[in-house]
Amino acid sequence: MKKIITLCLLTLSTLAFAQEAGKKGELLKNEASSTEMKTQRGTDLPRTTSSSNQSGNRSLTRSDNRNTKTRYNWNQNTGYSEVFLRIPEYGYYTVEIDDQVISSASGKYRFFDLKSGRMMLSIYQDRYLVYRTSLNVRNNTRMVLDFFNNYGLYLLDSYRVQGQMYGFNEWDDVWNNPYNNSPNYNNQPGYNQSKEVMDNRSFDNFVQTLKRNATFDKDKMAYIEQQVKSALFTSQQINTLLSTFSFDDTRLQAGKLLYDYCIDTKNFYIVYESFDFDKNKKELMNYVSKRR
C-alpha cells in the first residue's frame, strides 16, 4: 500500500511540472489539404544525392549513367540554418524539411546544414501526412518547435547559432527549463548578427580604458555609445559599467541605452544594484517594463 501511494505521488508531481500541450509558443498554420492527409506517403524516400531548387524541381547531383558527366555542388553560399523539432507523443514519425528527411520514434528531430530562407516542413505519422507548413529560417539561427497531434505545431523560439556547437548538452538544453536557457538575441532592439558579446578580457580592457581616459560622466557615455555599435553586453557587465559613473542621472541614461544591447535581459535586475537613489532605480525599472 505504501509503495502504491508513493508511485501516485510521483506521478502527480511529474504531471504538475510537465508542460501543458499547446500552451507554449506561436501556433503555425497547418497548410496540408484534407486530400493530402488521406493519402499515404510513398515508401521511397527522397534521394540524398538530390537537391531542390526554388521551383521545387529536383536535380540529380550524381547520375546513374556512367557515361554522363558528374555534376557537383561545391561551396554554394546559401547560408546556414538549423531546425529542432520535438514530438513528445508516442509514435513513429517522419519529418521532411527541404531535401532532408528524418524518420524516428525518438521524438526529437534535429536538422543541420539547412540553407537559410523559406522552406517547407512536412510531418508524417505512419506514412500519412498530418501537418505541413512553411518556415522562414534566418541565417545562423536555430528554430525550435513542438508538435502535438491535437493542437498543432508551435514555434517556441529562435536562437543564434554560435560556433555550431554540437555537444549533447547544447542539443538538449533548448527544451529544458523550459526553452529559456539561451538568450533571445533576435528580439533585442540592439540585435545584430555581426555583433558579439564582449569576452571577459576585452571587457576588462574596455573598463580600464574608460577609467583611464574618461574623467567625466559625459566622456564615459561617449565611450559607451561608441562601443555599442560593435558589441553586446551581459547584465553583469552593464552593472559594472554603470558603477563607473559618478552621478545617478548619467547612470540612468546609460542604463536605458545599454538595455537595448543586453543579451540576458532576464538577469537585468542585477543592474539596479548600481544605483544610489530609489527614484532613478524605479525610473529605469519602468523604462524596462515598457520596452518588454
* SS3 of the chain: helix, strand, coil, percent, to 5: 35, 25, 40
Radius of gyration (Cα) for the chain, nearest Å? 25
| Residue positions counted in the chain | 292
Mean pLDDT along residues 282-288: 90
219-234 residue pLDDT tens: 999 999 999 888 889 8
- Return the pLDDT at 128: 92
**Per-residue pLDDT, 191:** 47
pLDDT of 237: 92
57-67 pLDDT per residue, tens: 333 344 455 55
C-alpha triplet 246, 248, 250: angle, nearest 5°:
80
SS3 22: coil
Q: Which residue do the cell numbers 509514435 mark?
A: 91
Give the mean pLDDT of the chain.
75
CA distance 257 to 265: 13
Place of cell 532576464: 266
Domains in the chain with CATH codes: 13-36+78-177 (2.60.40.1120), 196-290 (no CATH)
Q: Could you tell me which residue, 210 or 12, shows the higher pLDDT? A: 210
pLDDT in tens, 128-154: 999 999 999 888 888 888 898 888 888
How, if at all, do strands 152-160 and 141-148 pair? Answer: antiparallel
Residue type, position 20, single letter: E
Of 74, 72, 54, 76, nearest to 63 by C-alpha is 72
Report whether pLDDT(256) > 90.
yes
Share of the chain above pLDDT 90, in %: 27
Tens digit of each residue's pLDDT (9 = 90 or more) over 180-202: 434 444 444 444 445 678 888 88
Listed in order, strand segments (DSSP E) in 35-161 are 50-52, 58-60, 81-86, 93-97, 100-104, 108-114, 117-125, 128-137, 141-148, 152-160
CB 160 within 8 A of CB 188: no
The predicted structure's pLDDT at residue 220: 93
- Distance, CA of 18 to CA of 232 (rounded, Å): 34
Q: What's the average model confidence in pLDDT over 79-85? A: 88
C-alpha cell at 155: 514555434
